[in-house]
Structure 1
Amino acid sequence: MSNGNSTLLMSRVTFGRALRRLRQEVKHFTIADVATTLDCDVSLISRIETGKRVCSQQHFAQLMDLYEVPPDQRDELAELYAAARERRQPWWAAYNEVISAQYERFLGFEAAASTVHEYQVGIVPGLLQTEAYAQAVTGVGFASLGADQIEALVEVRSLRQRHCLHETGSPLECHYVIAQAALDFQVGGKRTHQEQLERLLEISTHPSVDLRVIPYEKGEQAAQISAFMVLQFSDEDVPDVAFGESVAGSLTMDDPRDLRRLHRLFRSLTDAALSPDESRDVIAHTRNRDS
């Protein structure tokens, strides 16, 4: 992949999409057709095509024959296949004991993304949080975990910030819209609240960060929509992926219809929000008022 932040997950996703195009657009096979030919479960083919699993060398050879892939294209796919099987350890591998499979998948997508569009109602986006703020929200969100486990998750959030924004030659392009309530909630106490507002004023001037606030006067625009983010990738072979919040936890969305709806929602929220300069004024006013 051309994206310098490419990960093993992205290699698998790209390889899987290439196989799906061959199946659907070239041979017009169903997943069931392929599974029957390879004498395997339908779920295996589905997981290979979505990047959740890499096929065996035997299945790779069988698929190349089944799809009648010409030699030059087969060589290209062989390179993708090799990249998808490479045993690279991402930076978050050291935290496997506290990272769920869902969170690990999210980290893989985030590490490979070029752009994020995120909306938050009551909290500050993760990549903009101070350590103390992250400690407070993580302690509530993962109350069943021990203190050392919570500390590890806070470290992961700090490392995300470093890798995505501060210690990279190609920082993530961040577009954030937050409700004004997120500025007023005193997370972690008064001092932590003040430090977080200072961080927002500082990070909002970062060349890769566009931060906008929906004021209370536009509350009807913000109050009925839960938090979500959409990740986009510079590699055109990798589709957008979205993550939403629910009482059951984080939801992953990759259906094109869902993504179109979320993009429309984000444009609407952006239109309702203040400009970046006006948003900084609101943040500064909140900081000064509560100091």
Structure 2
Amino acid sequence: MSYNYWTETLLAMSEMLKRTLGRALASARKSAGMTMTDIVNTRIFGSRQKLWRLETGQGPFKWAEVQALADIYRVDIKTRSQWVDWAMRAGESGWWENFSSTVSDFRFGLYVELEQAASRITVCGGELIHGLVQTEGYHRAVIEQTQHTTHEELEESVKLRAEREAAVLGGPEPAQLKLILSEAAVSFQIGGESTLGKQICHLQNLNQRPNISVSCLRFGDGGHPSMRGPYTLLQFSEAEAPDIVYIESLDGGRFIEDPKVVQRFISNAKLLTTKAVPIKEWARERNAVA
């Protein structure tokens, strides 16, 4: 499998989601006893034509507008979450392209799409906490200390990170996330002691969720199989969708899709799981030493 598989799959998925969301919006409006004119009069949309394009699955869909329609139609929280999820995944060019200064590399944009579509995500190693589980303070500190950005770019990055987390870990069916951290990631004083402390506390709280596992590879346990570089393994519930590995670097990310190579990463992740300790156990040991 190659980029062609994923780009074609995502395009087909996008068209399907547009039609599905369009039908759902039209049905909800009719169930609420409202006409298109009623909706236009709320001033959310400038014309009937725009609403018509949404209801016929043509888009473009903006999640904020879908949220507003959910408020008008008074749908339940599960339906609202599903609509927003569809809207974010059905963007004609990828919802992440609204963050043009943050997502300058198409490969990262494709990764964001795949991350959202994945049913299981395994993150191994690395010296940074993964973006999906960063606190806002930690994320700001990472950007400020590692990149040259304007204030506007920083705020855009903060918003993108929050929307990624909501898309992947929020909603009625969040992804299964396994985070295997290097002890370096929870030791570097990024943002200072207070910021790091809040980040570690956040990780401990996340570890209590049934769909999230956070563990740590301790310095004292010696080397581990992921020391040559961190990676993210994405796996999907669809039988025809191949597993994929994403590796990020300074010049952009790259994907590994060769099944034999991906299988080595899967085996590596299983081995790391046996070596890592739960984040709370690591924190308890650290506090005992302190």
Partner AA of 2:200 in structure 1:
L
> Could you tell me how far apart the structure 1 residues matched to 2:194 and 2:268 are?
34
Which of 264, 272, 289 is matched with 2:267 structurally? 264
Q: Give the count of matched residue pairs.
A: 216
1:138 correspondence with 2:138: no
Between the two structures, name the one with larger relative contact order (CA 8 Å, sep ≥ 6).
Answer: 1
Q: Output aligned runs, 1:68-147, within 5 Å.
A: 83=16, 88-89=90-91, 90-100=94-104, 101-143=106-148, 145-147=149-151
- Counterparts in 2 of 1:136 and 1:158: CA distance versus 1, 3 Å: same
- Counterparts in 2 of 1:103 and 1:204: CA distance versus 1, 3 Å: same
Shift, 1:53, TM fit: 5.6
Q: Is the 8 A contact 2:124 2:226 kept in 1?
A: no
Q: Secondary structure at the match of 2:167?
A: helix
> Could you tell me how far apart the structure 1 residues matched to 2:205 and 2:13 are?
41
Equivalent residue, structure 2, for 1:229: 232
Partner AA of 2:126 in structure 1:
V
**Structure 1: segments with no counterpart, 5+ residues:** 1-16, 18-45, 55-78
- Counterparts in 2 of 1:289 and 1:147: CA distance versus 1, 3 Å: farther
1:163 correspondence with 2:96: no
> Could you tell me how far apart the structure 1 residues matched to 2:194 and 2:136 are?
12
- Counterparts in 2 of 1:198 and 1:119: CA distance versus 1, 3 Å: same
Partner AA of 2:5 in structure 1:
T
Shift, 1:206, TM fit: 1.1
Equivalent residue, structure 2, for 1:190: 193
Q: Is the 8 A contact 2:233 2:244 kept in 1?
A: yes
Shift, 1:152, TM fit: 0.6
State the TM-score, normalized to the length of structure 1. 0.66
Partner AA of 2:246 in structure 1:
F
Q: Is the 8 A contact 2:215 2:276 kept in 1?
A: yes
> Could you tell me how far apart the structure 1 residues matched to 2:164 and 2:272 are?
25
- Over the aligned positions, Cα root-mean-square deviation in angstroms equals 2.7
Equivalent residue, structure 1, for 2:282: 282
> Could you tell me how far apart the structure 1 residues matched to 2:137 and 2:271 are?
32
Instruction: Describe the superposition over 1:221-267 as per-residue Cα deviations: whole angstroms up to 9, x where unpaired.
Output: 15733110110111111111111134533221111122011111111
> Could you tell me how far apart the structure 1 residues matched to 2:226 and 2:125 are?
10
> Could you tell me how far apart the structure 2 residues matched to 1:185 and 1:153 are?
21
Shift, 1:92, TM fit: 2.8
Shift, 1:82, TM fit: 5.5
Equivalent residue, structure 1, for 2:154: 150
Equivalent residue, structure 2, for 1:217: 220
Partner AA of 1:264 in structure 2:
S
Shift, 1:281, TM fit: 2.3
Shift, 1:110, TM fit: 0.8
Shift, 1:125, TM fit: 1.7
> Could you tell me how far apart the structure 1 residues matched to 2:113 and 2:226 are?
30
Q: Is the 8 A contact 2:117 2:236 kept in 1?
A: yes
- Counterparts in 2 of 1:253 and 1:193: CA distance versus 1, 3 Å: same
- Matched residues, percent identical? 23
Shift, 1:52, TM fit: 3.1
Q: Secondary structure at the match of 1:271?
A: helix
Partner AA of 2:196 in structure 1:
H
Q: Is the 8 A contact 1:197 1:284 kept in 2?
A: no
